[in-house]
C-alpha cells in the first residue's frame, strides 16, 4: 500500500484553527503598518540566484548553504526561492524606478525559504513581515522603526522582549577592524574551532557570533568595532540612542551583534525574548546604505527590519493573546424539497445583508443537521421545513442563549430579527 504523502520537512501546514489566528494577526499588522505610512509591495517568491549572492554576501551562511537554488529546466536560468525579502524589494524598487520622486516606505508579508536544520521556531518555510525605508539617511528613521516595533509589542500585549543594538560603522571602518581582527585570530589560531577556522578568511566578523564556550574568553577580548568608528558613525549611533531614550525604550548595546547578512552598516538591531527557547530573535534589521548601489542603483541610504511571524505568534499565544475562533453568524438547516430550494434564497439573502452564513449541505436528518449547527459555533440556527418554505417563513433558533426562544419569522424580516439577536 502506498504511504500518504507528507509535507516537506520544516515546511508547515497552517490548519484552520491556527490560520484564523494568522488572519487576525495580519489584520493587526496591516493597521500598524498603515499607522507608520508604509505601503505594501509584493515581490515574486523566486528571484535570479545572483541577486542573493550580490545582496546578502557570498560568504554568508544563507548563501553558502541555506538557499533553495535550482536551474529552470526550460531555459537554464539559475533561480532561488527567496531566503529573505530585502534583496527582492530593492531589486523591484530599482527595476521600477520607485525612488524617482523621493524616498519610499515599503512593506511586505510572505513566505521565505531557508534550508536550515528545523527545530522549534526555526523552519525551512517561514513567514516575515518586512519593513523597508529607502532613501532615508537617518538616524530619525532608524529610531522610528525601533519605536514602531515597540508599539506593536504594546498593541499585542507582549512583554519580555528586549532590544539589542549595535553600530557596524562604514565599510572603511569595518575593513580596518577586520584586518586587526584577522591578525588577532591568526595569532590565536590554535584556539579556534573548525567553524571559526573556516570563517577566518571569508568572514572573521562572524566568529564574534560563536557560542562555543571554549572560545568565549578570546572572543570577548578581540578588537571591538566600536573603537574603529569615526566621528560621523558615532554621531549617527548617538542620534539613534538619544531618540530611543526620549521614547523611553531601554536598549542594550551589544558589540557582538553582527547579523548574518553582509549588507548592513551603521545601526543594527534585534528584538530578543527568552520565552521561546534558543530561537528567541523575533525581529531584526538595520541600516543598509550600500545595497542600492551594490545592486546597480544610484547610491541611496536605506534602513529596514523583518519580523518572524511564527515566532511572534508563538510568543503572542504563550502570553495569552490568541484570537477567538471565528464562527459563522447563522447556520441554515432544511428538510424537504421546497425547503432545500428556499434555503439557498435565505442564505444568499442573509449574506446580502452582511451576515456570515453556513448553509447545511449534504442532507441528513434534522437532528443530525442541528448537531452540525451546534458544532459550527454559529450563534443562531435558521430552520426551514416545507411548511415554513410554503409560507415564506423560517424558524429562528438562538443556539447559545437558552433564555431566548425559537420563533417563526417572515423571510423579509429575517435580517432585522437576526441583527437584533446578534447585536442588541
Ligand atoms: P533575518 O535576521 O535573517 O533578517 O530574519 C529576520 C527574522 O526572521 C528573524 O529575526 C526571525 O524572527 C525570522 N526568521 C529568520 N529565519 C527563520 C527561520 N528559519 N524560521 C523562522 N523564523 C525565521 C532578514 O531577513 C532581513 N531581510 C531583515 C531586514 C529587512 N533587514 C533590513 N530590512
* Extended strands (E) in 82-180: 104-113, 125-134, 162-167
CA of 11 to the centre of ligand 1 (A): 16
Exposure of 178 by Cβ count < 10 A (0-12 exposed, 13-18 middle, 19+ buried)? middle
Choice between 259 and 223, residue whose per-residue pLDDT is larger = 223
pLDDT band at 379 (very low <50, low <70, confident <90, very high): very high
Give pLDDT, residue 165.
97
What does the pLDDT look like over 164-176, one tens digit per residue? 999 999 999 998 9
- CA-closest residue to ligand 1 atom 2: 284
- Pocket probe for ligand 1: among 65, 284, 307, the residue whose CB has the most ligand atoms within 8 Å is 284
- CA-closest residue to ligand 1 atom 14: 308
CA of 33 to the centre of ligand 1 (A): 18
What span, in angstroms and rounded, lies between the C-alpha atoms of 384 and 400? Answer: 19
Choice between 46 and 197, residue whose per-residue pLDDT is larger = 46
| Angle separating helix axes 16-35 and 309-318, nearest 10 degrees | 110
- What does the pLDDT average to over 3-15? 95
What does the pLDDT look like over 52-109, one tens digit per residue? 999 999 988 999 999 999 999 999 999 999 999 999 999 999 999 999 999 999 999 9
What does the pLDDT look like over 315-366, one tens digit per residue? 998 888 766 667 999 999 999 999 999 999 999 999 999 999 999 999 999 9
Give the three cell numbers for residue 287: 541600516
Query: Can you tell me which atom of ligand 1 is nearest the CA of 132?
Result: 33
- Pocket probe for ligand 1: among 82, 165, 257, 285, the residue whose CB has the most ligand atoms within 8 Å is 285
Closest by alpha carbon to 375, among 387, 364, 388, 386?
Answer: 364
| pLDDT, mean over the chain | 94
CA of 208 to the centre of ligand 1 (A): 19
- CA-closest residue to ligand 1 atom 21: 122
Give pLDDT, residue 229.
95
CA of 307 to the centre of ligand 1 (A): 6
Dihedral of the alpha carbons of 278, 150, 155, 279, in degrees to the nearest 10? -10
Buried b / exposed e over 345-384, threshold 16 CB at 10 Å, is ebbeebeeeebebbbbeeeeeeeebbebbeebebbbbbbb
CA of 227 to the centre of ligand 1 (A): 28
Q: State the DSSP H helix or E strand holding residue 47, giving kind and residue range, or none if neither.
A: strand 46-48
What span, in angstroms and rounded, lies between the C-alpha atoms of 15 and 357? Answer: 21
Q: Which residues approach ligand 1 with their CB closer than 6 A?
A: 84-86, 114, 116, 122-123, 126, 128, 130, 132, 260-261, 281-285, 288, 304-308, 310-311
Query: Can you tell me which atom of ligand 1 is nearest the CA of 123?
Result: 20
Amino acid at each position: 500500500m502506498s504511504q500518504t504523502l507528507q509535507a516537506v520537512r520544516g515546511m508547515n501546514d497552517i490548519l484552520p484553527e491556527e490560520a484564523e489566528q494568522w488572519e487576525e494577526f495580519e489584520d493587526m499588522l496591516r493597521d500598524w503598518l498603515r499607522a507608520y505610512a508604509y505601503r505594501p509591495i509584493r515581490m515574486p517568491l523566486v528571484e535570479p540566484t545572483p541577486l542573493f549572492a550580490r545582496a546578502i554576501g557570498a560568504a554568508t551562511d544563507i548563501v553558502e548553504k541555506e538557499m533553495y537554488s535550482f536551474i529552470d529546466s526550460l531555459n537554464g536560468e539559475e533561480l532561488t526561492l527567496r531566503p529573505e525579502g530585502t534583496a527582492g524589494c530593492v531589486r523591484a524598487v530599482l527595476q521600477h524606478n520607485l525612488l524617482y520622486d523621493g524616498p519610499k516606505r515599503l512593506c511586505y508579508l510572505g513566505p521565505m525559504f531557508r534550508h536550515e536544520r528545523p527545530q522549534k521556531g526555526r523552519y525551512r518555510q517561514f513567514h516575515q513581515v518586512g519593513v523597508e525605508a529607502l532613501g532615508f539617511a537617518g538616524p530619525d528613521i532608524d529610531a522610528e522603526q525601533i519605536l514602531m516595533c515597540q508599539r506593536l509589542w504594546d498593541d499585542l500585549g507582549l512583554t519580555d522582549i528586549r532590544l539589542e543594538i549595535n553600530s557596524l560603522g562604514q565599510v572603511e571602518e569595518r575593513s580596518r577592524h577586520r584586518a586587526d581582527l584577522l591578525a588577532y585570530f591568526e595569532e590565536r589560531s590554535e584556539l579556534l574551532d573548525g567553524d571559526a577556522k573556516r570563517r577566518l578568511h571569508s568572514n572573521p566578523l562572524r566568529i564574534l557570533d560563536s557560542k562555543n564556550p571554549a572560545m568565549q574568553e578570546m572572543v570577548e577580548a578581540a578588537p571591538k568595532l566600536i573603537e574603529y568608528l569615526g566621528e560621523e558613525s558615532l554621531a549617527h549611533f548617538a542620534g539613534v540612542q538619544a531618540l530611543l531614550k526620549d521614547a523611553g525604550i531601554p536598549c542594550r548595546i551589544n558589540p557582538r551583534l553582527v547579523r548574518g547578512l553582509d549588507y548592513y552598516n551603521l545601526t543594527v538591531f534585534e528584538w530578543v525574548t527568552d520565552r521561546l527557547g534558543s530561537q528567541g530573535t523575533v525581529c531584526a534589521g538595520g541600516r543598509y546604505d550600500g545595497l542600492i548601489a551594490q545592486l546597480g542603483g544610484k547610491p541611496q541610504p536605506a534602513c529596514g527590519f523583518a519580523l518572524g511571524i511564527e515566532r511572534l505568534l508563538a510568543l503572542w499565544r504563550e502570553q495569552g493573546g490568541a484570537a477567538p475562533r471565528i464562527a459563522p453568524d447563522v447556520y441554515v438547516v432544511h428538510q424537504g424539497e421546497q425547503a432545500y430550494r428556499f434555503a439557498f434564497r435565505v442564505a444568499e439573502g442573509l449574506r446580502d445583508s452582511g451576515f456570515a452564513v453556513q448553509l447545511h449541505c449534504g442532507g441528513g436528518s434534522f437532528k443530525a443537521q442541528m448537531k452540525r449547527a451546534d458544532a459550527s459555533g454559529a450563534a443562531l440556527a435558521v430552520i426551514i421545513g416545507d411548511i415554513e418554505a410554503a409560507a415564506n417563513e423560517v424558524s429562528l433558533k438562538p443556539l447559545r442563549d437558552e433564555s431566548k426562544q425559537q420563533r417563526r419569522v417572515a423571510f423579509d424580516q429575517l435580517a432585522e430579527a437576526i441583527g437584533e439577536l446578534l447585536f442588541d
